[in-house]
Amino acid sequence: MGQEGCIFCRIVGGAIPSERVYEDDFVIGIRDISPQAPTHILILPKIHIASLSELDDPALAGQLLLAAKAIALQEGLGARGYRVATNTGEWGGQSVFHLHLHVLGGRQLKGLG
Ligand code: 5GP
Ligand code: ZN
Protein backbone atom coordinates (compact mmCIF):
# COMPACT_ATOMS: atom_id res chain seq x y z
CA MET A 1 0.00 0.00 0.00
CA GLY A 2 1.02 3.63 -0.30
CA GLN A 3 3.35 5.36 -2.70
CA GLU A 4 6.02 3.09 -4.08
CA GLY A 5 9.45 3.93 -2.73
CA CYS A 6 8.14 6.20 0.02
CA ILE A 7 9.87 5.29 3.28
CA PHE A 8 7.04 6.66 5.43
CA CYS A 9 4.39 4.72 3.48
CA ARG A 10 6.45 1.61 4.21
CA ILE A 11 6.57 2.56 7.90
CA VAL A 12 2.77 3.09 7.93
CA GLY A 13 2.31 -0.32 6.28
CA GLY A 14 4.70 -2.00 8.71
CA ALA A 15 7.27 -3.06 6.09
CA ILE A 16 9.89 -0.92 7.85
CA PRO A 17 9.90 -1.18 11.65
CA SER A 18 9.37 1.85 13.85
CA GLU A 19 8.62 2.58 17.48
CA ARG A 20 4.94 3.48 17.28
CA VAL A 21 3.72 5.58 20.20
CA TYR A 22 0.32 6.58 18.83
CA GLU A 23 -2.21 5.41 16.26
CA ASP A 24 -5.74 6.35 15.30
CA ASP A 25 -7.78 5.87 12.13
CA PHE A 26 -5.96 8.65 10.26
CA VAL A 27 -2.40 9.07 11.57
CA ILE A 28 0.43 7.28 13.35
CA GLY A 29 3.05 8.67 15.75
CA ILE A 30 6.58 7.19 15.71
CA ARG A 31 9.85 8.05 17.43
CA ASP A 32 12.29 9.82 15.14
CA ILE A 33 15.26 7.62 14.29
CA SER A 34 17.63 10.56 14.87
CA PRO A 35 16.07 12.55 17.73
CA GLN A 36 16.88 16.26 17.97
CA ALA A 37 15.47 16.52 21.51
CA PRO A 38 14.82 14.09 24.40
CA THR A 39 11.34 13.59 22.96
CA HIS A 40 11.07 13.68 19.17
CA ILE A 41 7.98 12.15 17.61
CA LEU A 42 6.85 12.21 13.98
CA ILE A 43 3.16 12.20 13.11
CA LEU A 44 2.36 10.80 9.68
CA PRO A 45 -0.97 10.63 7.88
CA LYS A 46 -1.74 7.03 6.87
CA ILE A 47 -2.32 8.14 3.29
CA HIS A 48 0.50 9.49 1.15
CA ILE A 49 0.58 13.28 0.97
CA ALA A 50 3.92 14.72 -0.12
CA SER A 51 3.98 17.81 2.09
CA LEU A 52 1.85 20.49 3.71
CA SER A 53 1.61 22.13 0.27
CA GLU A 54 -0.38 19.13 -0.97
CA LEU A 55 -2.67 18.90 2.09
CA ASP A 56 -6.20 20.08 1.32
CA ASP A 57 -8.41 18.06 3.68
CA PRO A 58 -9.29 20.28 6.66
CA ALA A 59 -10.42 17.29 8.71
CA LEU A 60 -7.05 15.58 8.25
CA ALA A 61 -5.27 18.85 9.07
CA GLY A 62 -7.17 18.95 12.33
CA GLN A 63 -6.50 15.30 13.06
CA LEU A 64 -2.75 15.82 12.59
CA LEU A 65 -2.66 18.84 14.88
CA LEU A 66 -4.82 17.29 17.58
CA ALA A 67 -2.73 14.10 17.44
CA ALA A 68 0.34 16.30 18.04
CA LYS A 69 -1.28 17.70 21.17
CA ALA A 70 -2.40 14.26 22.38
CA ILE A 71 1.08 12.80 21.89
CA ALA A 72 2.75 15.77 23.61
CA LEU A 73 0.51 15.25 26.64
CA GLN A 74 1.04 11.46 26.51
CA GLU A 75 4.81 12.07 26.49
CA GLY A 76 4.55 14.33 29.54
CA LEU A 77 5.38 17.56 27.71
CA GLY A 78 2.27 19.47 28.69
CA ALA A 79 3.64 21.30 31.71
CA ARG A 80 6.95 22.60 30.31
CA GLY A 81 5.87 22.95 26.69
CA TYR A 82 6.89 21.61 23.32
CA ARG A 83 7.16 22.47 19.62
CA VAL A 84 5.16 21.22 16.64
CA ALA A 85 6.76 21.84 13.24
CA THR A 86 6.50 20.69 9.65
CA ASN A 87 9.34 21.28 7.21
CA THR A 88 8.00 21.95 3.73
CA GLY A 89 9.95 21.63 0.51
CA GLU A 90 13.64 22.06 -0.17
CA TRP A 91 14.16 25.42 1.48
CA GLY A 92 11.99 24.36 4.39
CA GLY A 93 14.48 21.59 5.12
CA GLN A 94 12.15 18.71 4.25
CA SER A 95 14.04 15.47 3.64
CA VAL A 96 11.23 12.88 3.56
CA PHE A 97 8.47 13.78 1.12
CA HIS A 98 5.54 12.26 3.02
CA LEU A 99 3.90 14.91 5.19
CA HIS A 100 4.80 14.72 8.87
CA LEU A 101 4.63 16.88 11.96
CA HIS A 102 7.57 16.91 14.35
CA VAL A 103 6.74 17.04 18.07
CA LEU A 104 9.84 18.12 20.00
CA GLY A 105 10.25 18.54 23.71
CA GLY A 106 12.12 17.65 26.87
CA ARG A 107 14.61 20.51 26.72
CA GLN A 108 14.57 24.27 26.21
CA LEU A 109 14.17 24.84 22.47
CA LYS A 110 15.78 27.90 20.87
CA GLY A 111 14.65 29.91 17.89
CA LEU A 112 14.07 28.42 14.48
CA GLY A 113 17.17 28.54 12.34
P1 5GP B 1 12.21 16.21 7.59
O2 5GP B 1 13.68 16.50 7.45
O3 5GP B 1 11.62 15.70 6.30
O4 5GP B 1 11.42 17.31 8.21
O5 5GP B 1 12.13 15.05 8.68
C6 5GP B 1 12.37 13.72 8.37
C7 5GP B 1 12.65 13.03 9.68
O8 5GP B 1 12.49 11.65 9.50
C9 5GP B 1 14.08 13.25 10.22
O10 5GP B 1 14.00 13.84 11.51
C11 5GP B 1 14.66 11.84 10.24
O12 5GP B 1 15.49 11.63 11.35
C13 5GP B 1 13.44 10.97 10.28
N14 5GP B 1 13.58 9.67 9.66
C15 5GP B 1 14.12 9.40 8.44
N16 5GP B 1 14.07 8.10 8.18
C17 5GP B 1 13.46 7.52 9.25
C18 5GP B 1 13.12 6.16 9.55
O19 5GP B 1 13.36 5.22 8.79
N20 5GP B 1 12.50 5.96 10.75
C21 5GP B 1 12.22 6.96 11.63
N22 5GP B 1 11.62 6.64 12.78
N23 5GP B 1 12.53 8.25 11.36
C24 5GP B 1 13.14 8.51 10.19
ZN1 ZN C 1 4.26 8.10 1.60
User: Ligand 1: does its nearest atom lie under 6 Å from the Cβ of 95?
Assistant: yes
pLDDT(3) > 90 = no
pLDDT of residue 112: 83
Give the pLDDT mean for 86-94.
98
Would you kindly state where each structural domain of the chain is located, as residue ranges?
A: 7-99
pLDDT(113) > 90 = no
Local confidence band at 111 (pLDDT 50, 70, 90 cut-offs): confident
- The verdict on whether 40 is a catalytic residue reads no
Quote the pTM value: 0.97
7-99, CATH topology level: HIT family, subunit A (3.30.428)
- The ligand whose atoms approach the alpha carbon of 19 most closely is 1
Which stretches of 2-109 are DSSP H helices?
7-13, 58-74
The whole-angstrom separation of Cα 113 and Cα 102 is: 15
pLDDT of residue 1: 61
Pair 52, 24: CB distance under 8 Å = no
Local confidence band at 2 (pLDDT 50, 70, 90 cut-offs): confident
23 closest CA partner among 1, 45, 51 = 45
What confidence tens digit (pLDDT) does each residue in 27-83 have?
Answer: 999 999 999 999 999 999 999 999 999 999 999 999 999 999 999 999 999 999 999
User: Ligand 1: does its nearest atom lie under 6 Å from the Cβ of 34?
Assistant: yes
